Amino acid sequence: MDSLHAAAAKSLAMRTRLHPAEIAFWLCAVASYFLLPGKHLILSEIAIMALFALSVDLLLGYAGIVSLGHAAFFGVGAYVAGLLGKYGYGEPVLGLVVGGFGAAVFGFATSFLVLRGTDLTRLMVTLGVALVFYEIANKAGFTGGADGLQGVMMGPVIGLFEFDIFGHVAYAYSLIVLFVMIMAARRIVGSPFGLSLVAIKGNPLRARAVGVPVNARLVGVYTLAAFYAGVAGALLAQTQAFVSLDVLAFHRSADGLLVLLIGGAGYLYGGVIGAVIFKLMQDQIAALTPQYWQFWIGLFLVALVIIGRDRLIAGPAALLNLLRRRS
Amino acid sequence: MLTILFDGVAYGMLLFVIACGLAITLGLMNFVNLAHGAFAMAGGYVAVVLANRYGVPFLLCLPLAFIASALIGLLLERTLYVRVYGKSHLDQVLFTIGLVFMSVAAVDYVMGSQQQFINLPEWLRGRIDIMGVGVGRYRLLIIVICGALTILLQSILSRSSFGAKLRASVDDARVARGLGIPVDRIFAITFAVGSGLAGLGGALGAEILGLDPTFPLKFMIYFLIVVTVGGTSGVTGPLVAALLLGVADVAGKYYVPQIGSFVIYTIMIVVLILRPQGLFARAR
Amino acid sequence: MMISRRVWVSLMGAAGLASASSGALAQETVKIGMILPLTGPFTPIGKQVEAGAKLYLSQIGGVVAGKKIEIVLRDDGGVPDATKRIATELVVNEKVNVLAGFGLTPLAMATAPIATQSKTPLVVMAAGTTAIVDASPFIARTSFTQAQSAATIADWAAKNGIKKVVTLVTDYAPGIDSEKFFSEPFKAAGGEVLAQLRAPLQNPDYAPFLQRVIDAKPDAIFVFVPAGVGAALMKQYVERGMDKSGIRLIGPGDITDDDLLNGYGDSALGVVTAHLYSANHPSAANKAYVEAFKKANNMRPNFMSLGGYDGMRLITEALKKTNGATDGPGLIAAMKGMSWESPRGPISIDPDTRDIVQNIYIRKVEKVDGELYNVEFETYPSVKDPARKK
């Protein structure tokens, strides 16, 4: 029996070991900081988008929950961090943590609504919850409504680094946060909890039969994803020193899904790869045709589905699998 | 009070006509079509162009809008949608959001981004008093047209052989094929009719809902609410849901304007928590 | 008119070039980063402003004080976060000398800190909330403020036998501004505001709100809705027979936007509004402007287009004043106190607030040559932002 435990623990440890590809990726990320000093603004946005897509990945890629309203938690995190900054608690790291926990509380509370019913009901309820959040933010006095939250003053990161207009500090900060969050996510999905999620996604009935507490696990992952989204939102609020209703808008939820699927779901780095591709694409197209860029994004989506996601995106995932087998 | 009720009913009827096509595609074909509003928009624009540029009489514009949207629906169904039926809901969501983006940008490019209006004939303007209740003529027309359509739809679905074949195809496409029912053709026709109805609703609604390129995104949520709250077992559920929403929305904004916009979302969430399959679900 | 101005401008340019040729290189580029909503629900605003700005630039031949003017156009979709990021990128990477555009208040408010930090002049060409010009010492405005039109119509209504009013505004900053700056002077003049209704921004159906208005039996309904949304409301106003029941419709000119007016049909006849510009404004400058605008864009110019047109004029005239020098403080100093004859009438930039001072006209919708126009019949000259008098 002990040997079985040991073998199980060993295989889990194997799964969570860093791959050469990952190390290479992070080296690239660090290099980008020094090689592209003029691009830090968009790079911070990419990092934030990647973190948001990562939180969608936890839901979709690992637990199979399709949400059309994940922006709700992004928005909660953003507003919490923004309000903290406005009322004199501008220490960024504190804001991140509080923003994340704020979102997690809401995620936990709404998870019970979401986990009932079928796929379709879920889509609608997540959408509905996000809309209600949007309306609350629109109507409430403390959020600044449609004008956005003015007067957010951020302190320096860990008391040393002031945010600058070129986004240097913002990018370094976002990148470090993203790194920490991905490493934490790796531990989580490699743990028994993460493995049980994959089992639930594969076949909820069978998972229940072998004794996995399905509902509790789903509530857990929903709360976790909300936490991640909240941190991403808080990051945005802090690096922009401004929060608007847009953090809760439908298109943010849609973008999160889209970004994740460009990069591929279920291996944690999909969101990052997707965010890089999506943002660069959006930026390029929007600069060429500011009025009609949506058309091309739409065309891309249609093509993505018709041709098949797997065929377009099999590349990075397959590569990773190959490496996984080698190591 | 009665006027509010009347307005709510007219609004709900309009939502129903636009959304019932979605109820069919979603309920019968189990396909999440977020681009449904784009067909309504197409119908609206067809009617606007015909009425304003070519002076076609308004009542003739409505069937033409229906035909145009139905043809667009048929074309897209045969070329694109048919490849997505078998895919996951997630794929369907992405695909149809993509279509929405394309339609918004394309219409903007062709027609400009300003709001469009239909020049209504004189006899549809203003209001008449029926037993002391002020009734807008145009809204009355909407109720009449939509009511007739509802009865027609219901009888087709439940009484005609086409309806029977459609129900069979949805319940078990494989067996239906084995019995010689042309499933693909039935789906295509259904999809086209659903799109056509959306177009008709778009043409009718241009006057009340407004018509501009962002229409599909603006109203997407309303159509989805109608379908999910109503359940997808036929047309009665969505009809009741649409009327409920129309009346709740109008009454909410009249009596409690501060929280008017919350009313419908809250109703939706409450209903879905109590009855995840919608109000009138088929027993599965 | 056009030609003479062009000649004059090029002469001025030549003069400027001669005086500045000692130091400056010929044909250096001045970049103007223009950020507008070109997608999303506020697209019509963006398109009008863009068309106005480009028209002015083409009329002066794209060269000022020996420098080539280049517009770097970007779309923000009406989303403040995007506006702020794009503005920062334009300043940092594109090295633009001036920021311009800004279709909505939150977009301008979000970007104000960037203007202050980078000392870049920011010309607001559309947004209309009073607080914007206070958000940064580098902001100047060429559009309007909500209070200018709202307070003017309040004054006119009180003097013309309107006693009881219900206000109906869109529930966001400009709407709430309009409500406030209409209600205060109207009450001060002895009028009565029976109810203040606010409709959500994403509002498909105005029926319930209008029903409330009917039930309150006012003399008039004061309406502010964003340009482009007014049509549905207008239609329903007629459909409910309010035009015949003696409830007049008054408000700022957004509801009878020139861009849309013709689509309303005769239902809009007789609506009285107060605003800064009508395409029907009877001046030679305006006739030439409307003609050129229609030729270039195939649509009628509305009040938003003037924000773009005059905004470009303000920037280029300031460049002339500084002989092509592009330092931010110098440019913004040059803009203060400028005045000229715009197609909308005489306008100036208040040297204290950097906000616009302009005539507000009372207009009535009438048929002119088979088309609907706002016909001006009364002028309130040189209206400063009334919100500041407090």
> Any idea which of A19-28, A295-304, B235-244, C96-105 has the lowest mean pLDDT?
A19-28
pLDDT above 60 (res A128): yes
pLDDT at C53 over 90: yes
- Mutation pick from A60, A114, A126, A131 vs chain B, by most beta carbons of B within 10 Å, is A131
By percentage, how much of chain B surpasses pLDDT 70? 90
**Average confidence (pLDDT) over B228-256:** 80
For the stretch C55-76, pLDDT in tens is: 999 999 888 888 889 999 988 8
**Eight-state DSSP code of residue B282:** P
C164-212: per-residue pLDDT in tens?
Answer: 999 999 877 788 888 999 999 999 988 899 989 888 776 667 888 888 8
* Residue closest to B19 by CA, chosen among B247, B278, B229, B267: B229
- Give the chains touching B; criterion: ≥3 Cβ pairs < 8 Å: A, C
**B172 confidence band (pLDDT: 50, 70, 90):** confident
Instruction: Round to whole Å and give the CA distance between C151 and C158.
Output: 11
Q: How far is A274 from chain B (nearest CA, A)?
A: 15
Is A38 close to C92, i.e. CB distance below 8 A?
yes
Strand partners, C34: C73, C100
Of B108, B209, B257, the CB nearest to C204: B209
**Residue A27: which region, alpha, beta or left (left: phi > 0; alpha: psi -120 to 50)?**
alpha
For the ranges A30-34, B10-14, B91-95, the lowest mean pLDDT is seen at: A30-34
Cα distance between residue A146 and residue A159, in whole Å: 32
Burial class of residue A142 (count of CB atoms within 10 Å of its CB; 0-12, 13-18, 19+): exposed
Residue in B138, B208, B261 nearest the CB of C232: B208
| pLDDT at res. C14 | 42
C317-334: pLDDT as tens digits = 999 988 888 888 999 999
Quote the tokens at residue C287: 């006739």
Return mean pLDDT, chain C.
84
Q: How confident is the model at residue A228 (pLDDT cuts 50, 70, 90)?
A: very high
pLDDT at C9 over 60: no
Least confident segment among A295-309, B97-111, B193-207, C93-107:
A295-309
Residue A320: its pLDDT value, please? Answer: 54
Q: What is the mean predicted confidence (pLDDT) over B22-36?
A: 79
Instruction: Note the pLDDT of residue A76.
Output: 93
C99 Cα to chain B: minimum distance (Å) = 24
What pLDDT shows up at residue B282?
A: 52
**B284 vs A10, B171, B233, B277, C23, CA distance in Å?**
45, 11, 10, 10, 84
- Give the mean model confidence (pLDDT) for residues B34-45: 90
* A68–B93 CB contact, under 8 Å: yes
pLDDT at A159 (0 to 100): 65
Greater confidence, A15 or A148?
A148
Query: pLDDT-based confidence at A126, cuts 50/70/90?
Result: confident
Residue B232 pLDDT exceeds 80? no
Could you report the per-residue pLDDT of C105-157, keeping only the tens digit for each? 888 888 888 898 889 999 999 988 888 888 899 999 999 998 899 999 999 99
A275-294 pLDDT, tens digit each: 888 888 877 877 777 667 77
Whether residue C301 is predicted with pLDDT greater than 80 in this model: the reply is yes
The pTM assigned to this predicted structure is: 0.81
Confidence of residue A316 (pLDDT cuts 50, 70, 90): low
- Pull the structure tokens for residue B36: 């449904």
- pLDDT at residue A227 above 50? yes
The top-scoring range by mean pLDDT among A25-34, A63-72, C38-47, C137-146 is C137-146
What is the pLDDT at residue B283? Answer: 42
Residues B268-277 have pLDDT tens digits of: 778 777 777 6
Asked if B102's CB is within 8 angstroms of A299's CB, the reply is yes
In chain B, what residues touch C212 (CB-CB under 8 Å)?
254, 257
Neighbours of C260 (CB within 10 A): 25
Residues B91 and B84: beta-carbon distance below 8 Å: yes
> What are the chain A neighbours of C200 within 8 Å (beta carbons)?
138
CB contact under 8 A, A306 and B80: yes
Chain C within 8 Å of A141 (Cβ-Cβ)? no
Residues of A in Cβ contact (< 8 Å) with C172 = 145-147
- Reported as a pLDDT band with limits 50, 70 and 90, residue C343 is very high
- C327 near C97, Cβ under 8 Å? no
What's the pLDDT at C292? 93
> What average pLDDT does the segment C299-309 reach?
92
Per-residue model confidence (pLDDT) at position A161: 74
Is residue A165 less than 8 Å (CB to CB) from chain C? yes
Between B32, B94, B262, which is nearest A120 by CB? Answer: B32
Candidates A41, A147, A286; nearest CB to C92: A41
Question: Is the pLDDT higher at A28 or at B195?
Answer: B195
Does pLDDT of B98 surpass 70? yes
Beta strands in chain B (DSSP E): 127-130, 133-136
Q: How would DSSP label each residue in B219-257? A: HHHHHHHHHHHH-SSSSHHHHHHHHHHHHHHHHHHHH-G
By CA distance, what is B113's nearest residue in C? Answer: C44
Residues of B in contact with A250 (CB under 8 A): 217, 221
* C41 phi and psi angles, rounded to 5 deg: -70, -15
Mean pLDDT for all residues in chain A: 80
Q: What is the pLDDT of residue C79?
A: 80
Q: Is residue A293 within 8 Å of residue A286, measured between CB atoms?
A: yes
Segment 264-283 of chain B within 8 Å of chain C by CB: none
Higher pLDDT: C13 or C47? It is C47
Q: C288, C352 in Cβ contact below 8 A?
A: no
Pairing status of strand C220-224 against strand C192-199? unpaired
Residues of chain A with C-beta less than 8 angstroms from the C-beta of C74 = 286-287, 290
Q: Do C173 and A240 touch (CB under 8 A)?
A: no
Q: From CA A229, how far away is CA A213, in angstroms rounded?
A: 24
Does C2 have pLDDT greater than 60?
no
Is the CB of A41 less than 8 angstroms away from the CB of C91? no
Residues in chain C with CB shorter than 8 Å from the CB of A45 are 85
Chain A: partners with 3+ C-beta pairs within 8 Å: B, C
Residue A244 and residue C79: Cβ atoms within 8 Å?
A: yes
For B206, the closest chain C residue by CA position comes to: C232
With a CB cutoff of 8 Å and minimum separation 6, the contacts of A97 are none
Residue A327, pLDDT above cutoff 50: no
Which of residues A298 and C12 earns the better pLDDT score? A298
Residue C11: predicted pLDDT: 41
Q: How sure is the predictor about C13, in pLDDT bands with cuts at 50, 70 and 90? A: very low
Given CB atoms, is B85 within the 8 Å cutoff of chain A?
no
Q: What is the DSSP letter of A291?
A: T
Q: Residue A317: what pLDDT?
A: 55
